[in-house]
């Protein structure tokens, strides 16, 4: 990518003055002048590619500039003070944050590495843009992994699929998460990857006409609703199909991989209007409807999901969302950053939307051992959620296998601390019983009751664990 091209793409969504971007491009190009990548091409090609990915995410000027220079502090002799003076505190902090991550390597077997990851996550919690730059950097490295040794390919792919892909998912950057997973899968299981790729392409070729016919029919009916919309086809990533095969212990041929389309419109009201039209024309599959607009996922994802029977008997999955929801589902938290610039459509609730992430980071800070930190980190990155109702009908999203104690702490710290029992669907249950989606849970409390040490081994969420620890600490009870 050339500078003119980068500036043109940036100006399409931002009115910020691009002088700093031009300076950062030339500065980074000069700083890396003597360096080459494993492929033999100039090192700066990588810096430009990272900046291009960030522009695709529509990130703000400071983030794109930091992307251009993300390796300057680590790989060149330019002193930190000089760089800070040259580009100011904000860009310096972003580049220094990424540099900090560069020196860390993840290995599930090594306690010290877990401690490094812990430090990295806590250091970047202050500015989530650091993680977004690191993800863009990792994506380009994965795209060019073929130039490295097999040993390096395995090490980097393992790290990517264990932590970077789930982190992208947790931040709601779904298309990046999918590409990171598929690239890792390609190197970790090359034979399975190639075999599955061939089968998916063949199946898609056979079903493409079917999907096209359904889209045409859908478009005809939606046009009658006179609601602005566009329809997109959706292809599942290979790794998610592979995981499904492992989970269900079935060959590819037996996997019910629903064909999927997305319908994108302008307002929430129109999402429900289009859903009504879809259900009046096509027979919905029982139990397939989920409303993530009324109850968004923790990473801000919103959409209506339903599955219907096409005239051919095939099941088609339909997702209905607004343009803004679509942008969030593609770019996640990254989609909200540019609104800080006071541009048209400024997002007044940005801090509120990012608050769950900051709070999560704080909870993780409270864990005693690095190993526990990594385990908890991974549990909280799992985006399979269950939805539990309070007796008043409020919905609380929780990770799979969460317990009534986890649920109690999502309502209020005091409810968690004084919890002595739980009724699920009007029956008393043990506090360590895993909850199921749709359960109505009522917490029984008693004044002067207190958390027990053994709860730490029962709860699934970092939040509950953090509150229990805090209570035990403040009341002089050692955890061990």
* Enzyme catalytic residues: 74-75
Report which of 95, 90, 43, 36 is spatially closest to residue 69, judged by C-alpha positions: 95
State how far the Cα of 444 lies from the Cα of 265, in Å rounded to an integer.
44
Query: In the chain, how long is the greatest CA-to-CA distance?
Result: 71
Pairing of strands 259-265, 315-322: parallel
State how far the Cα of 162 lies from the Cα of 157, in Å rounded to an integer.
8
Residues across the chain: 480
State how far the Cα of 39 lies from the Cα of 146, in Å rounded to an integer.
9
State how far the Cα of 214 lies from the Cα of 45, in Å rounded to an integer.
43
**Is the distance from CB of 427 to CB of 395 less than 8 angstroms?**
no
State how far the Cα of 10 lies from the Cα of 54, in Å rounded to an integer.
10
Q: Which residues contact 473 (CB under 8 A, 6 or more apart)?
A: none
């Amino acid at each position: 990518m050339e500078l003119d091209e980068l500036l043109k793409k940036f100006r399409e969504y931002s009115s910020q003055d691009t002088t700093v971007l031009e300076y950062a491009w030339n500065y980074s190009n000069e700083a890396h002048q003597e360096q080459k990548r494993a492929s033999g091409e100039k090192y700066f090609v990588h810096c430009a590619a990272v900046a291009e990915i960030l522009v695709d995410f529509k990130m703000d000027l400071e983030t794109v500039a930091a992307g251009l220079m993300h390796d300057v502090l680590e790989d060149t002799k330019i002193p930190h003070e000089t760089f800070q003076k040259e580009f100011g505190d904000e860009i310096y902090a972003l580049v220094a944050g990424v540099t900090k991550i560069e020196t860390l390597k993840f290995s599930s077997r090594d306690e010290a590495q877990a401690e490094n990851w812990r430090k990295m996550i806590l250091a970047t919690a202050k500015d989530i843009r650091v993680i977004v730059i690191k993800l863009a950097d990792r994506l380009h490295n994965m795209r060019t992994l073929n130039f490295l040794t097999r040993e390096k390919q395995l090490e980097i792919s393992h790290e990517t699929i264990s932590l970077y892909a789930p982190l992208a998912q947790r931040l709601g950057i779904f298309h990046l998460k999918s590409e990171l997973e598929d690239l890792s899968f390609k190197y970790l299981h090359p034979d399975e990857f190639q075999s599955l790729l061939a089968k998916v392409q063949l199946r898609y070729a056979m079903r493409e006409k079917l999907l096209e016919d359904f889209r045409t029919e859908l478009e005809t009916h939606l046009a009658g609703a006179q609601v602005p919309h566009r329809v997109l086809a959706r292809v599942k990533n290979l790794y998610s199909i592979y995981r499904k095969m492992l989970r269900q212990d079935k060959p590819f041929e037996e996997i019910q991989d629903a064909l999927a389309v997305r319908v994108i419109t302008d307002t929430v009201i129109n999402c429900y209007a289009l859903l009504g039209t879809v259900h009046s024309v096509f027979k919905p599959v029982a139990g397939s409807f989920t409303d993530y607009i009324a109850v968004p996922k923790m990473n801000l994802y919103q959409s209506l999901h339903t599955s219907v029977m096409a005239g051919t008997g095939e099941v088609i999955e339909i997702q209905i969302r607004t343009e803004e929801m679509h942008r969030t589902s593609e770019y996640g938290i990254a989609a909200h950053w540019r609104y800080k610039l006071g541009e048209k459509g400024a997002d007044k609730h940005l801090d509120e939307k990012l608050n769950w992430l900051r709070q999560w980071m704080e909870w993780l800070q409270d864990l005693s051992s690095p190993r526990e930190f990594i385990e908890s980190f991974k549990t909280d990155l799992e985006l399979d959620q269950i939805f539990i109702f309070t007796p008043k009908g409020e919905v609380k999203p929780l990770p799979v296998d969460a317990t009534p104690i986890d649920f109690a702490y999502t309502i209020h710290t005091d409810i968690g601390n004084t919890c002595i029992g739980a009724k699920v669907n009007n029956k008393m249950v043990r506090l360590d019983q895993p909850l199921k989606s749709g359960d109505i849970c009522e917490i029984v409390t008693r004044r002067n009751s207190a958390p027990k040490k053994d709860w730490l081994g029962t709860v699934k969420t970092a939040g509950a664990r953090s509150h229990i620890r805090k209570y035990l600490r403040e009341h002089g009870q050692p955890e061990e």
